[in-house]
A and B are shown apart, each in its own frame.
Chain A
Amino acid sequence: MDLSRGFGARSGGVVPCREATGLAPPPLLPPENAGSFTALLELPATQAVELLHFTDSSSSQVVAPPPPLHSFGALPFPCNSVLMERAARYSVIATEVQNGNGSCETPTSSVPSNSSANLDRVKTEPTETDSAMENNHSPRPSSQNNRSGKRKEFEKKGKSSTKKNKSSEENEKLPYVHVRARRGQATDSHSLAERARREKINARMKLLQELVPGCDKIQGTALVLDEIINHVQSLQRQVEMLSMRLAAVNPRIDFNLDNILASENGSLMDGSFNGTPMQLAWPHQVIETEQSYHHRQLQPPPPPQPQQWPFDGLNQPVWGREEDQAHGNDHNSLMGVSENLMVGSANLHPNQVKTEL
């Protein structure tokens, strides 16, 4: 959908420039400049624009200069209503005449596709020759007819404001909008879907590329994917290694975990789930609750105390030091550990971890 939006926006961007060329240059458009073809291209647009903006005098002045290659355009129009009617009949003729003859046919057939041709020129081709235009027209005459018919209506109600014109033109373009086929690309639905899918994959891959460190310099899809796969594998291996280390550490700390969780289950309800400040600081919270648990156990011995007390004594080396540090008693090398634990989950400095190891 955003593609279509962008496309519509681009077409909206193209339209004023065409209008500008329609407004300003008709006196400046000599027939030899654009090979009389683009002049013819511009001509109905100028008429439409005149309808919208100009008074009769200026309209006659503007319409006069274009070359008398076809009969309708050269006529000076007395008033707006006549011009409107003329335009309407003109495009009706265009749909009928289009299959026929050469020089009179080209401007009429190119009227409805004017903006799209401009688009194509903006996107791909710097210069557009007559034959290229003809090639562009030939493969889909039915759509041309459709569009010219729509254009007819569009010109009939062309007296409204330019913004309305733009919106109606966008609506008219909408079925063609998501067809992002450039010239030479296939336009059947399968290849279009395939192209959309590829674009989606590329966008996702760009997102992935930002995630994986050191991956944004790599060129080439396959290498990037390899790097992503390696990263995932290394992360999974790291998890395995860490769980091995945890298993090695585990027998010493299990009752600690019990303690933590026993005291944490209370704080889990009120503390960690209610706000953002607690989210980042779980180790600190753990330590705090641990301390409070210890203090609670020290002051009034609760009923389950006799079982846990020796294990607490056993495990005092692990957590007790941090407790000491939290009280500010111990300031030697263990400071790093507690800092790491306190700030740990918020920003884990890998350097700190390594030096600490």
Chain B
Amino acid sequence: MASSDKTTNTDIPKKDVFALHFLQSLSNLKAQNPLDSPDKANVCVKKIKLAAYVSMARSAGGTSRLWSRALLRRAAKGNNKIPRRKKKVTWHRKRRSNRRAPVVEEAAERLRNLVPGGGAMETSKLMEETAHYIKCLSMQVKVMQCIVNGLSTK
């Protein structure tokens, strides 16, 4: 096993756990739908994407991270849509960002929309979560590329 002597970086989430989760959820998806599914390709893509994100969130520590918790909660709602939050705790941006550095706050605002669960985060917490999210996302992209390459080549 050529890869076993590589030292693992504990900071980066485990790839095999993600891959197992992802493959399992893919097979679950396939078990739900018959082989030639009547679903449109759009729905299928969405489901696969959701499965990928959920398995990433699960492999990245479950609910220990804010973004993974938000992802799982959003996925548990059953649909891919972002639910409109009414009275939830959000970072009061309007009031504070006036006084603060407008450049950073404006960029952090965009970042809040990207990172799941970012709406309720303070800026420094948002940065921290973004760092972890980026690590997990790049791991996810690598593993998915590996899977796609392994499956699509004949």
Contacts and interface: CB of A to CB of B under 8 A. Distances in A.
Contacts of B30: 250, 254-255, 257-258
A277 B4 contact: yes
B144 interface: yes
A298 interface: no
Contacts of B24: 261
Contacts of A279: 8, 14-17
For the complex of A and B, list the 10 residue pairs with the smallest distance between their C-beta atoms, beginning with the closest: A346-B3, A204-B127, A225-B107, A282-B16, A254-B30, A277-B4, A243-B48, A257-B27, A235-B137, A344-B146
Interface string B110-154: 110011000000011001101101110110111111111111111
A344 B134 CA distance: 20
Contacts of B41: 244, 247-248
B111 A228 contact: yes
Contacts of A233: 114
Interface in B8-26: 8, 14-17, 19-20, 23-24, 26
Contacts of B82: none
A253 B27 CA distance: 9
B35 interface: yes
B87 interface: no
Contacts of B152: 245, 249
A239 B4 contact: no
A232 B130 contact: yes
B89 interface: no
B114 A222 contact: no
Contacts of B128: 204, 207
A343 B15 contact: no
**How would you classify the secondary structure of chain B's contact residues: helix, strand, loop or mixed?**
helix
Given A222-B104, A229-B107, A250-B44, 8 more contacts: A207-B131, A242-B145, A253-B151, A254-B26, A276-B8, A281-B16, A345-B15, A345-B16
21 contacts: A207-B127, A221-B101, A229-B107, A232-B111, A238-B141, A239-B53, A242-B144, A244-B48, A246-B48, A249-B151, A250-B44, A260-B23, A260-B27, A282-B19, A340-B146, A342-B3, A344-B146, A345-B3, A345-B146, A353-B146, A356-B149
Contacts of B135: 211
A123 B27 CA distance: 63
A347 interface: yes
B93 interface: no
A222 B107 contact: yes
What size tier do the contact residues of chain A reach? 35 or more
B70 interface: no
Given A232-B137, A258-B27, A280 B124 contact: no
Contact of A201 (B16, B114, B123): B123
A83 B107 CA distance: 63
Nearest to B143: A345
A179 interface: no
A251 B36 contact: yes
Given A208-B130, A257-B27, A272 B16 contact: yes
Nearest to A254: B30
Nearest to B139: A345
B52 interface: yes
Given A243-B49, A345-B143, A348-B145, A317 B154 contact: yes
A243 B131 contact: no
A85 interface: no
Given A222-B104, A254-B35, A240 B111 contact: no
Nearest to A204: B127
A276 B148 CA distance: 25
Contacts of B148: 242, 245-246, 249
Given A264-B20, A281-B1, A246 B144 contact: yes
A264 B147 CA distance: 16
Contacts of A212: 134
Given A243-B52, A261-B24, A208 B127 contact: yes
Contacts of B35: 251, 254
B103 interface: yes
Contacts of A97: none
A297 B145 CA distance: 30
Contacts of B14: 279
Interface in B85-110: 100-101, 103-104, 107-108, 110
Contacts of A235: 134, 137-138, 141
B84 interface: no
A11 B115 CA distance: 42
B149 A353 contact: yes
